[in-house]
Amino acid sequence: MLVLTRKKGESILIGKDIRITILELDEEKMRIGIDAPRDVKVLREELLAETIHSNIESSKFQKGVLEKLSDLNGHA
């Protein structure tokens, strides 16, 4: 992991197309701005974890429904 120190208003470049700028700093948090091409997906890590969990739960539900439908079809 690369660790950098930046001040308010300073930026970090990733490749040629992505710029991360420090917008605000206080003792508890920092606000950043991200300029990136539209085809680059930018997600907060906690949202990605929620999405993965939701997809897993959804697939469990769908599997159960499909099994019940299969059972009903077999008994028809």
Digit-coded pLDDT (tens) for 33-55: 999 999 998 988 888 777 777 77
In this predicted model, which residue has the larger pLDDT, 50 or 28? 28
Average pLDDT of span 57-71:
67
Give me the amino acid identity at 18. I
Euclidean distance between CA atoms 49 and 32, whole angstroms: 21
pTM of structure: 0.62
Query: For 41, which DSSP code?
Result: -
